[in-house]
């Protein structure tokens, strides 16, 4: 037995060594396990409670501005179609439709469209027009909506910018407006362009490098190759006189009635362009009279209803100025026992005195009536009074005809003899 205990690897020493290694491995395993547990706990705390790493910011994507995205049809009439950006199909316009960058709008014959942008800019497209809203930026200095680029390929567009500014291009021009500017840009059938400023300011640049600054009541014509003509002052704006705005004209028999439109003549006007329509858009006018030389126009047989009208003056070069303020009147039938307004107006002459070849005419008629003396128009004040001097062309004894016409077409005439001496 003693000999067995003394052999190497046997006995208490070997057992102790084995026990020591066993304990040591267990300790290592436990320590490693503890470290793993602690690491996992720290990781969990760090993930849920610890500071978060910075998150990557999304890259800026180019988008249409809020102003362009807010563009919509305020009104339209007739055939108006839209081709959305990137699409091939033309679709009918709707009031709910939102117009974005690069959307195209076209109007058919007798159609029109009013497009309002969030910046306050208003575009009123005329019939047979094609236009693209290209861009609406932001003025980095003033932090306001910046220039809107609208490309007019054909037809015409009236614009009103409000507090923003606009840029309207044609194949041969680029017109940049100031704020609070109203005007018109149009493209002719042969490719010529015209830029007009009714109020405010704008600058027109051409394909040939010409630059023209425009102010209120000024225009420039640009030919089909991009060469500008001289800046031109447009004819003045007619003032509508009769029928008075928002008036009601009562006819016993409207089909046989005569309604007289009267406006104050413009000194440098050669002719006038008169528009009458059932709606304020004037897209399908009942009357579209161009080349009219008088400052009045008779309308016969108007039916019961509301009528809108405006007049523009045209100079010797054919340039049409800013139209008058829009006005409307209503045609009605009188109620039983009520007299219609097509009855003759009153006419009282206080003075009819010739001095040489000048005739002094003074008196009063019905408010809103018009007055002529030998065919020459006399201004009638709002209260119906008149006081004017008329030139008579021929000398000697003659009959002077004074004719008053009510807003309903009723006529009263006075014929007086006078003697004209030179």
Q: What does the buried/exposed string (b/e) look like for 250-269 if buried means 16 or more CB atoms within 10 Å of the residue's CB? A: bbeebeebbbbbbbebbeeb
| Spatial distance between the Cα atoms of 402 and 416, rounded to a whole number of angstroms | 8
Domain 347-420, CATH homologous superfamily name and number: Immunoglobulins (2.60.40.10)
Which helix (H) or strand (E) segment is 28 a member of? helix 12-48
CB within 8 Å of 66: residues ≥ 6 apart: 118
Quick one: tokens of 420?
């004209």
Would you say 103 and 80 are in contact if contact means Cβ atoms under 8 Å apart?
no
CB within 8 Å of 163: residues ≥ 6 apart: 119, 120, 144, 179, 180
* Most trustworthy range by pLDDT among 52-56, 62-66, 117-121, 291-295: 291-295
What tens digit of pLDDT does each residue of 307-328 get?
A: 999 999 999 999 999 999 999 9
Would you say 381 and 313 are in contact if contact means Cβ atoms under 8 Å apart?
no
Express as a percent the part of the chain with pLDDT over 90.
46
What is the pTM (predicted TM-score) of this model?
Answer: 0.65
| Spatial distance between the Cα atoms of 55 and 218, rounded to a whole number of angstroms | 57
Q: Where are the domains of the chain?
A: 66-233, 239-332, 347-420
State mean pLDDT over 133-151.
57
Phi, psi of 189 (to 5 degrees): -65, -25
Would you say 344 and 410 are in contact if contact means Cβ atoms under 8 Å apart?
yes
Residue 341 pLDDT exceeds 70: no
Would you say 114 and 76 are in contact if contact means Cβ atoms under 8 Å apart?
yes
Q: What is the DSSP string of 306-338?
A: EEEEEEEEE-TT--B-PPPPPEEEEEE-PPTTP
State mean pLDDT over 105-133.
91
State mean pLDDT over 91-103.
91
Same fold flag, 239-332 and 347-420: yes
Domain 239-332, CATH homologous superfamily name and number: Immunoglobulins (2.60.40.10)
Residue 7 pLDDT exceeds 60: no
Decide the pairing of beta strands 122-125 and 112-116.
antiparallel
Fold of 66-233: Jelly Rolls (2.60.120)
Q: What angle do CA 9, 13, 16 make, to 5 degrees?
A: 115
């Amino acid at each position: 037995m003693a000999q067995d205990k003394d052999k190497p690897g046997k006995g208490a020493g070997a057992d102790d060594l084995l026990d020591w290694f066993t304990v040591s491995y267990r300790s290592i395993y436990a320590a490693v396990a503890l470290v793993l547990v602690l690491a996992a706990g720290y990781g969990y705390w760090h993930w849920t409670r610890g500071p978060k790493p910075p998150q990557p910011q999304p890259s800026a994507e180019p988008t249409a501005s809020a102003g362009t995205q807010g563009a919509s049809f305020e009104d339209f009439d007739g055939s108006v179609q839209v081709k959305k950006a990137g699409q091939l199909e033309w679709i009918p316009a709707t009031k709910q439709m939102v117009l974005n960058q690069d959307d195209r709008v076209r109007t058919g014959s007798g159609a029109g469209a009013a497009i309002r942008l969030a910046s306050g800019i208003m575009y009123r497209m005329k019939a047979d027009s094609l236009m693209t809203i290209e861009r609406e930026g932001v003025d980095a200095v003033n932090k306001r909506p910046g220039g809107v680029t609208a490309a007019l390929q054909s037809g015409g567009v009236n614009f009103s910018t409000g507090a923003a500014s606009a840029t309207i291009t044609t194949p041969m021009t680029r017109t940049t407006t100031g704020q609070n500017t109203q005007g018109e840009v149009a493209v002719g059938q042969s490719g010529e362009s015209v830029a007009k400023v009714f109020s405010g300011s704008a600058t027109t640049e051409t394909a040939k490098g010409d630059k023209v600054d425009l102010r209120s009541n000024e225009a420039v014509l640009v030919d089909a190759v991009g060469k500008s003509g001289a800046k031109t002052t447009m004819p003045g704006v007619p003032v509508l006189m009769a029928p008075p705005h928002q008036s009601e004209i009562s006819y016993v028999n409207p089909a046989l009635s005569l309604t007289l439109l009267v406006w104050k003549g413009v000194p440098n006007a050669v002719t006038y362009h008169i528009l009458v329509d059932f709606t304020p858009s004037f897209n399908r006018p009942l009357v579209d009279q161009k080349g009219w030389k008088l400052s009045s126009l008779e309308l016969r047989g108007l039916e019961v209803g509301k009528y809108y009208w405006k007049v523009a003056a045209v100079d010797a070069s054919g340039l049409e100025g800013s139209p008058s303020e829009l006005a409307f009147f209503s045609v009605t039938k009188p109620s039983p026992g009520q007299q219609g307004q097509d009855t003759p107006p009153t006419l009282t002459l206080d003075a009819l005195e010739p001095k040489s070849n000048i005739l002094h005419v003074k008196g009063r008629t019905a408010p809103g009536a018009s007055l002529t003396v030998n065919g020459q128009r006399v201004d009638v004040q709002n209260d119906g009074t008149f006081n004017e001097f008329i030139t008579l062309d021929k000398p000697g004894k003659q009959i002077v005809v004074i004719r008053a016409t009510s807003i309903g077409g009723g006529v009263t005439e006075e014929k007086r003899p006078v003697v004209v001496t030179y």
